Amino acid sequence: MSVHEILTAIQASRGMPPFGTITIARRWIDKELESWEILDAAAAVYMHLNELLRVGHRASDVETCNLEGAYGECVSAELPLTSGYLPCMHIAQSELTSHFSAPDGSILSDVTEELEVDEVKAQKVVEDYQLPEFPGGDAIARVPGMMKIARKVMEKDGFHGTFAFLLAGESILHIQAMGFDSQRTKLLSFERLARLVESSRADGLLVVGEMWMGVQTELEKKLNTVLIPARDRVDRTEGLSVYAVTRDGRRSEQVCTVTRGPNGETNCSDPVEFDPGIMNTMIPIFRKWKEMELRGL
């Protein structure tokens, strides 16, 4: 059955809830691999083979595989220093999953795009925007430096997209551009990001982007919760956030307030350190890391 046929069957069975989001996922399984989906298992084997070949080539002072042959669209002769993950493996998984709005059955789509950095264009942007040096270190160590860059971009362009950086130790595995038009698609985008964290074996995640900020009411402080999201408050303010989490439980966040001048200019305040706690968007990430631990990954 296709995911659309599955949804139609759910609707016909009167099992459709009155609100919420329905996720339908098809998975290839085998009874001999109880805790593995077959595509996940194939990806894991590929990663191990990549590491084996990389170690062998390095021992022979060969930087790339020099055998001639036909390669697939996303397969090259390079031997990555990190996970050996292939983007097509993650894309194939995503095509087996669909999300639907419960009331009307409409499809909900997250918007993500993996970015390839063009070194020449990147250097030109650095010069044009007079950006500070790109920070190094793991996800936590990069937060202050990324905030400096984000403030420069925000003040220059007047807006800032949402970007996720997946890291293994101090190495950047992937840069993911993210877009969402509602809270539901935002959460779905981070569910997808969690799957990419597993696929690439990332142990650190840094996210930079704009956000709405709101001050808790006295009742919310008393109840230790948020009853009205910042985006829905009449007294909301605009902010720029850089936050990072790691698999070992460390968290860091810096936030600055964004104001608009009378002539359209954008100004960013000095950043403030925040204790991010466990954000809703990070729940899928920590859940995935827990699942990876249980599976020995």
DSSP structure string for 81-117 = SS----HHHHHHHHTTEEEEETTT--EE--EEEEE--
Cα 114 to Cα 119: distance, rounded to the nearest angstrom: 16
Would you state the pLDDT for residue 255?
94
Q: What is the pLDDT of residue 278?
A: 64
pLDDT tens across 170-212, in order? 998 888 888 877 777 787 888 888 888 988 889 999 999 998 8
CB 113 within 8 A of CB 177: yes
Residue 172 DSSP class? E
Q: How many CB atoms lie within 10 A of CB 56?
A: 11
In the predicted structure, residue 213 carries a pLDDT above the cut 90: no
Mean pLDDT of 122-149: 89
- The token pair that represents 148 in the structure block: 């400096």
- What token pair was written down for 182? 């509602």
High-pLDDT (> 70) share of the chain, %: 78
To 10 degrees, the CA torsion angle through 240, 245, 250, 254?
-10
Q: In this predicted structure, what is the pLDDT of residue 81?
A: 59
Residues in Cβ contact with 26 at an 8 Å cutoff, skipping those fewer than 6 apart: 3, 96, 97
Is the pLDDT at 17 greater than 80? The verdict is no
Q: How confident is the model at residue 112 (pLDDT cuts 50, 70, 90)?
A: low
pLDDT at 277 (0 to 100)? 66
Predicted pLDDT at 240: 94
pTM equals 0.79
Residue 151 has pLDDT above 70, yes or no: yes
User: Per DSSP, which regions of the chain are E strands?
Assistant: 21-25, 97-101, 107-108, 111-115, 162-168, 171-179, 204-213, 237-246, 251-260, 266-268, 272-274
Q: What is the CA radius of gyration of the chain?
A: 22
Return all residues near 11 (Cβ < 8 A) that are at least 6 apart.
Answer: 105
DSSP code string of 146-165 = HHHHHHHHHHHHS---EEEE
Please name which of 191, 165, 159 lies closest in space to residue 177, comparing C-alpha atoms. 165
Mean pLDDT rounded to a whole number for the chain = 80
Cβ burial 281-292 (10 Å sphere, 16+ → b, else e): bbebbbebbeee
Return the minimum-mean-pLDDT range out of 16-25, 27-36, 201-210.
Answer: 16-25
Rounded alpha-carbon distances, angstroms, from residue 257 to 36, 155, 159, 238: 45, 12, 13, 6
Fill in the DSSP letter of residue 280: G
Per-residue pLDDT tens digits for 50-108: 778 878 888 888 776 666 666 556 666 666 655 556 666 655 555 667 777 776 667 66
